[in-house]
Structure 1
Amino acid sequence: MPWRMPAETAPHERTWMAFPRVGFTLGDTEADRAEGYAAWTAVARAVAEFEPVSMLVDPTETARARDLLGSGVEQHETPVDEFWMRDHGPTFVVDDDRPGVLGAVDWIFNGWGAPDWADWRLSAEHARLVAAHVGAELVSSMLVNEGGGIHVDGAGTVLLTETVQLDARRNPFADRARVEAEMLRTIGADTAIWLPRGLTRDYDEFGTNGHVDIVATFAAPGRVLLHAQPDPAHPDHAVMPEIRAALEAATDAAGRRLEIVDLPGPAQLRDDEGFVDFSYVNHLVVNGGVIACGFGDPVADDRARGILADAYPGRRIVTVDARPLFARGGGIHCITQQQPALPSPSPSPSPSPVDSPNSADAAPAGPALPGDSTRRAAETER
């Protein structure tokens, strides 16, 4: 059966996210944690203006999630450690020969190369659990990969980076041919465009080693939005010509040369940790809109909105402050994962309301995800 990952611009059934929980990523102080919760909440509410949002919530965060998210976001209790849903959630695919069938690729997730600081045992199960919940056929893969490490045009082309899929900490025995064969089998991409690397900040201790979704994305088949760093004082000013050269030399699955549209970053070059990787490329396309990263730079934010409006005609551009997300290691695209709409009704079960006598504004919640013994036990005790 030929699986195919639709373009992000294709219609969505919903967007999946995971709610933050106390730990290393969220921050050490109460102020840090409050900032993180608010950042994830702001993205969820922005997406919910356009399409349904389903949020995985750790049992320890249920009350907080209800209070912050309100009634507009469906919640599912399941154990959570990491909460970058793009990376450890399923990569949804469709089968054009079976129009009503949804697939979910379950990559091996090892916390972006098994760093000492990452906890991923729980989040590594999320793809399988979400797939079962929505009735998707599981497409298991032996490739260590993350959703932020790929971008597709929906028509047979995938963007990859050599420092992710060929990372020895992820896939020590992989080569291009093996990775490309797995991309064809799992997401239907018969043409891979390999970028040599990612942005500079992504190679520090807490980076992903070069995710493509902060560097380049397809606005449409044959058209790529590419991060640009015009300031020579930033090391990415020297990095981007190498990446651009790889795109200029490539052809897509249809044999076309790519049209490359620059998406310049904001003026800020550094934060307390060093050179930033602030990138407007890390946006999410939703039904009728685009959720864009903002960086507190009115000129650059407005310029990015204009470029995105031209790239995605007919969609409303909504900007959300992404600085708290980037301070924790990613952006808007990194914390979201779209589920494509199917031509026939989705097999997803209907949500049932949360039993919450103390809050009239409690968020609706679908049934507990498969394997969620914590939620089932709580319901038994009520």
Structure 2
Amino acid sequence: MIWPAADYMLDGTYAPVEAVWRAWADVAHAIAAFQAVSILVEPSQEQVARRYLSDIIERHVVPVDDAWMRDSGPTFVRDSTRPGVTPAVNWQFNAWGGLELAETAADNAIAARVAGFADAPVLHSSMVNEGGGIHVDGRGTALVTATVQLDPRRNPGWSRENVEAELERTIGARRVIWIERGLTRDYGPLGTRGHVDMMATFSEPGVLLVHDQRDDGHPDRSVSMALHARLSGERDASGVPLTTVSLPAPTVLRDAEGWVDYNYANHAVVNGAVIMGEFDDPHDSVARGILRDAYPGRQVIGIDARPIFALGGGIHCITQQQPTA
């Protein structure tokens, strides 16, 4: 993880700063109850992080710009030719196609720094990509969105074939399922322009948990319907038909900034648990039950994710896992 450091996160414009610090700390401590957690801390934020984080959280004081480890950090993979080795894919990062509020100088060094802390070899990629822009089943199937990977501000001139070839080289993707666009809020000032981890995720090979906005008054109703239609009848890299499970969207539709992108698909799976976002919403308990069924043997831990979503992402976005070698 990365402790919040960006000005737009800490000036109170989008969420009270105390709520931001508390949300990041709550996620870190929830995960630490099940497995080791390391967090990068910008030097100017070291004292704040020390107040909010217990000593069970390993801290590395290094320069950082933002706090979305999923995106600026590496994507760990297993190398079948080198048992016991988990290379770290270092994507090119340009702040989601050049968002005005985001910096990239320090964040571009994060993937290599994390790989060094993890004693993992670095696998460099020439593609601008973020970890939130892909979802995989671990067996060769990947989900992506066209507005991310084919964004001319990210990868000008790239084709779907170019993207698929690079995903095969770096993460072993043999089947890439393209989704045309993301949720409406994701195209706003703090948006990623279509990250797939706000829409769907594999709970296991062959099973997709899919965001389902059911309110006709929300613009994501049509996005959600198109998403379900796109995934219906799809097959994975082995040719097996995919099963989709609906995750009903929270009932709240708007906040002070406009249409919300609140969803339960953006959760983090850790050893023995699932860390899910909650929104003080009647559907929190519904989603908790669905996730409990989808991840048998894991506890489902809810964290108030509204301060995180106010800044443009969710719990999956602020975390990144390293597989066991």
Letter paired with 2:62: T
TM-score, normalising length: structure 2: 0.98
TM-score, normalising length: structure 1: 0.83
Identity %: 53
Structure ID, larger Rg: 1
Q: State the Cα distance separating 1:248 from its structure 2 match.
A: 1.4
Q: State the Cα distance separating 1:172 from its structure 2 match.
A: 0.8
Judge conservation of contact 1:26–1:328 (CA < 8 Å) in 2. Answer: no
Does structure 1 residue 152 correspond to structure 2 residue 136?
Answer: yes
Distance 1:233 1:267 in 2: 11
Does structure 1 residue 197 correspond to structure 2 residue 181?
Answer: yes
Does structure 1 residue 48 correspond to structure 2 residue 10?
Answer: no
Distance 1:71 1:319 in 2: 22
State the partner residue of 1:266.
250
State the partner residue of 1:302.
285
Letter paired with 2:73: G
Does structure 1 residue 338 correspond to structure 2 residue 324?
Answer: no
Report 1 or 2 for greater relative contact order, CA contacts < 8 Å, sequence distance ≥ 6.
Answer: 1
State the partner residue of 1:10.
none
Judge conservation of contact 2:26–2:303 (CA < 8 Å) in 1. Answer: yes
Distance 1:22 1:183 in 2: 30
> 1:232-269 CA distances to partner (integer Å, 9 max, x unpaired)?
01111111121112211421101012100000111100
Unpaired runs of 5+ in structure 2? none
Of residues 16, 21, 38 in structure 2, which corresponds to 1:37?
A: 21
Unpaired runs of 5+ in structure 1? 1-16, 343-382
Distance 1:204 1:35 in 2: 22
State the partner residue of 1:96.
80
Does structure 1 residue 329 correspond to structure 2 residue 312?
Answer: yes
Q: Which moved more, 1:29-38 or 1:215-224?
A: 29-38
Q: State the Cα distance separating 1:25 from its structure 2 match.
A: 2.5
Distance 1:30 1:61 in 2: 19
Judge conservation of contact 1:293–1:322 (CA < 8 Å) in 2. Answer: yes
State the partner residue of 2:11.
27
Distance 1:117 1:150 in 2: 23
Does structure 1 residue 127 correspond to structure 2 residue 78?
Answer: no
Distance 2:311 2:15 in 1: 14
Question: Size of the alignment, in residue pairs?
Answer: 325
Q: State the Cα distance separating 1:67 from its structure 2 match.
A: 1.6
Judge conservation of contact 2:183–2:261 (CA < 8 Å) in 1. Answer: yes
Q: State the Cα distance separating 1:31 from its structure 2 match.
A: 7.7
Letter paired with 2:20: G
Judge conservation of contact 1:309–1:315 (CA < 8 Å) in 2. Answer: yes
Distance 1:226 1:105 in 2: 26
Judge conservation of contact 1:196–1:246 (CA < 8 Å) in 2. Answer: no
